[in-house]
Chain A
Amino acid sequence: MITVTAYVIVAAVLFIIGALGVLISRNLIVMFMSVELMLNAANLCLIAFSRALNVMDGHAIVFLVLTVAAAEVAVGLGMVINLYRNKETINIDRYNLLKW
């Protein structure tokens, strides 16, 4: 039978894949999607606990997290387009203006 632990471990695996994507990816857009994946892993955790404790609060919080993610994507993709306009590349290593 499936326990809460199984769901939370799936969420942990997804979170780690997202973190690894942020670390090793050299593509700006893939990096951005990895952040989204980490947000989704947290959502899965919230839903699982909400089911285990039989309260609905997790669902409301997931809703708010989804809104934050949508706002983040709208602003972030605007930034990606502006960055591309300046540098003509999506290679993250080329954006080193602030590197000492």
Chain B
Amino acid sequence: MNLDTIIFIVSALVAVSGATMMISLRNPVLSVMSMILSLVAQAVLYIQLGALFVGAVLIIVYSGAIMVLFLFVIMLLNLRGSEDLGRQSSPIKMSTKILFSLMLFVEFVFVIKVGFFKGDIPLGVMSQTTDNFGSVESVAELLFTNYLYPFELTSVLLLSAIVGAVVMSKRDAAETKTDESAVAVKDSDSKEQVVES
């Protein structure tokens, strides 16, 4: 058993157990933390597969930005894990869900086992087949040549996401108006204070 195998087994176990903790913990903050743990383990798997840049991006963007956004929303909504989440669904419903997931898993394993080649893959950063496999340069070259059109479409997607987020987080007109008048009152107050002082 060489080092690569050990790294693979450990990080796969951490990824799976982090994901399991994510769906089973009651406290949303702890659940986000275990998702971050799982993501870091997945980034180790990426780097082991030679995807250096994408692994770094996974840590920076996913666990650094997206998960912090989740945490931010949890803090904003002031969730502490003691919310009323309703009754546990009945055992029949629960076991049906688990049974269907297991069936899907068996199906996946069947397809994987039947499907394709089983050759070993060169693992680790040191054992790369080509010089710059997975480097920033080669990913960027691919993104700006073969995948230029999807890349440009991504910018449209981001723009529409920004517009959507702004429109959705805008409050309705009446509420905004009262807020504005409150702000105006506060402004005049502070002006008066300035004059007084």
Contact = CB atoms under 8 A, between A and B. Distances in A.
Interface of A: 1-10, 12-21, 23-27, 29-30, 32-34, 36-37, 40, 43-44, 47-48, 50-52, 54, 56-57, 59-64, 66-75, 77-82, 84, 89-91, 93-94
Contacts of A48: 49, 121
A5 B85 contact: no
A36 B65 CA distance: 13
B139 A74 contact: no
Interface residues of B, number: 84
B5 A33 contact: no
28 contacts: A4-B116, A5-B112, A9-B112, A17-B20, A21-B19, A21-B23, A29-B70, A29-B73, A32-B70, A33-B22, A33-B31, A33-B70, A43-B58, A44-B42, A44-B45, A56-B134, A56-B138, A57-B142, A60-B143, A62-B54, A63-B143, A64-B150, A66-B61, A66-B62, A67-B158, A79-B168, A81-B77, A82-B169
Given A10-B15, A37-B38, A71-B161, A60 B147 contact: yes
A51 B142 contact: no
B119 A52 contact: yes
A9 B35 CA distance: 19
B22 A59 contact: no
A36 B58 CA distance: 12
Contacts of B37: none
A74 B169 CA distance: 11
B180 interface: no
Contacts of B38: 14, 37
B150 A3 contact: no
Grouping DSSP codes into helix (H, G, I), strand (E, B) and loop, the A interface class, with mixed when no group exceeds half, is: helix
Nearest to A19: B101
A5 B42 CA distance: 16
Given A10-B15, A29-B79, A4 B108 contact: no
A2 B121 contact: yes
B189 to A, nearest CB: 28
Contacts of B35: 33, 36-37
Given A54-B133, A59-B51, A93-B86, A47 B161 contact: no
A25 B19 CA distance: 13
A30 B23 contact: yes
Contacts of A91: 83-86
Per CB-CB distance, the 7 closest pairs between chain A and chain B, nearest first, are A21-B23, A71-B161, A12-B108, A78-B168, A23-B97, A51-B49, A17-B19
